[in-house]
């Protein structure tokens, strides 16, 4: 597996959601087993939708190796903006939104204040993508057009059956990035070839997916050294401004 590179996981999850659960100690244990230097995690389940303050606190109280994609439900209005400001002051590195779970369309007006705040904080924004209607990949493309200075990350890369929109979406706007955590290798290869390795972020989707599965999938692509380094580490460091 990919042991010669520094590896930063751009998309892990902490908390509980249906059959999935991950505590920080277990994530750190798995990171150690597979040589993951750092991970950027986001809340899940109720801590994504209702108890987002608790979810953000869970992330912001983790050790230095885990950075926070924080969230706030756009339906919370001013309370959401206050929460993001609080998180910024505590060291959050980006905004995560899940339109399907949080119940909005990415282009709805209620999202605008959050995106403006992310712009002001110089944060990237990861959207969950792939769930039909709310989490349409092309809705995120629309936002990327409207906010050209913001880096948007397509979380889960359109998984499952919007995967075929991703290569075209990446070609449409330069500020859209692929989180490969749930993406099959042929699509990763296509996007790496078509849009460049600097647009692809290694993610694990732990605890839904697994480090060995995603790392082996990347190994099988036989990427050149600089491309691997970009995907496994450099891109996420650059976009999220990690140390």
Contact footprint for other proteins (CB under 8 A): 18-20, 100, 130-132, 156, 159-161, 182, 184-186, 205, 207-210, 212-213, 216-217, 220-221
Q: Whose CA is closest to 27, among 238, 230, 214, 204? A: 204
Q: How far is the CB of 234 from other proteins (least distance, A)?
A: 24
Q: Would you say 182 or 200 has its CB closer to other proteins?
A: 182
Q: How far is the CB of 185 from other proteins (least distance, A)?
A: 5
Strands 8-17 and 20-22: antiparallel
Q: Would you say 10 or 205 has its CB closer to other proteins?
A: 205
Return the DSSP state at 8: E
* CA dist., res. 129 & res. 57, Å (int): 24
Q: How far is the CB of 189 from other proteins (least distance, A)?
A: 9
Q: Would you say 75 or 184 has its CB closer to other proteins?
A: 184
b/e string for 51-72 if b means 16 or more Cβ within 10 A?
bbbebbbbbbebeebbbbbbbb
Q: Which residues pair with 178 in a beta bridge?
A: 154, 200
Q: Would you say 44 or 176 has its CB closer to other proteins?
A: 44
Q: How far is the CB of 148 from other proteins (least distance, A)?
A: 29
């Amino acid at each position: 597996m990919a042991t010669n590179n520094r590896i930063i996981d751009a998309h892990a999850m902490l908390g509980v959601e249906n059959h999935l659960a991950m505590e920080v100690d277990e994530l750190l244990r798995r990171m150690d087993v597979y040589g993951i230097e750092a991970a950027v995690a986001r809340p899940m389940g109720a801590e994504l939708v209702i108890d987002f303050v608790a979810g953000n606190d869970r992330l912001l109280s983790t050790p230095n190796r885990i950075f926070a994609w924080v969230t706030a439900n756009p339906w919370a209005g001013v309370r959401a903006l206050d929460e993001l400001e609080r998180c910024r002051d505590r060291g959050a590195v980006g905004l995560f939104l899940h339109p399907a779970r949080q119940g909005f369309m990415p282009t709805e007006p209620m999202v605008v204040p959050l995106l403006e705040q992310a712009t002001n904080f110089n944060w990237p924004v990861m959207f969950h993508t792939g769930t039909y209607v709310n989490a349409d990949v092309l809705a995120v493309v629309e936002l990327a057009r409207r906010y050209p200075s913001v880096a948007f990350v397509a979380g889960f890369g359109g998984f499952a059956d919007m995967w075929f929109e991703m290569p075209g979406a990446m070609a449409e706007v330069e500020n859209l990035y692929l989180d490969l955590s749930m993406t099959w290798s042929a699509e990763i290869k296509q996007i790496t070839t078509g849009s460049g390795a600097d647009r692809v972020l290694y993610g694990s989707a732990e605890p839904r997916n697994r480090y060995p599965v995603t790392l082996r999938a990347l190994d099988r692509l036989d990427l050149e050294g600089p491309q691997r380094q970009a995907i496994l580490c450099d891109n996420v460091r650059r976009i999220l401004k990690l140390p």
